[in-house]
Amino acid sequence: MNQQPNHDHPRFAGRAFRVDYDGLSAHNIYAADGQSVHYAIVAGPYTGASGESPCEWRQIAEGVYAISWQEANGATVVHIDDFAGGRSQAFFTAPDLGFHRMQGTLMELDAADSAASDRP
């Protein structure tokens, strides 16, 4: 009997990732159910910004997800993350209404790296 993939939880659920864009890096730590993200900006002009937000996701191809959330400060974020290929595209509107389009690398963090950015 073939086991069907679990479509209730996305591939990134319960895991932590670092995204590196030109001028900005962040750690995104996803809840085990894939319904929320803890984010921390670790490099760039928004360094130190962090929080937790509910998120929504859609799988758009094998290993590729559109993930979106709104941060407490009003910033809106949309990622197109290719977890199989290690690439990320992000689109976000900052609280000052500046709109940013970025692309870069996506890599899974080990437990020590994700604990370091987990919570202030």
For the segment 41-63, the average pLDDT, to the nearest whole number, is 95
* Of 99, 98, 77, 96, the residue nearest 88 (C-alpha): 77
Q: Could you tell me the pTM of the whole model?
A: 0.84
The confidence score (pLDDT) of residue 115 equals 55
CA distance linking residue 34 with residue 85, whole number of Å: 20
CA distance linking residue 20 with residue 14, whole number of Å: 20
For the stretch 70-84, pLDDT in tens is 999 999 999 999 999
> Average model confidence (pLDDT) for the chain?
89
The residues spanned by each domain of the chain are 16-116
CB neighbours (10 Å) of residue 28?
Answer: 25
- 117: which 2 tokens? 């950015």
**What's the fold here for domain 16-116?**
Lipocalin (2.40.128)
Instruction: Examine the pLDDT at 61 and tell me if it is beyond 90.
Output: yes
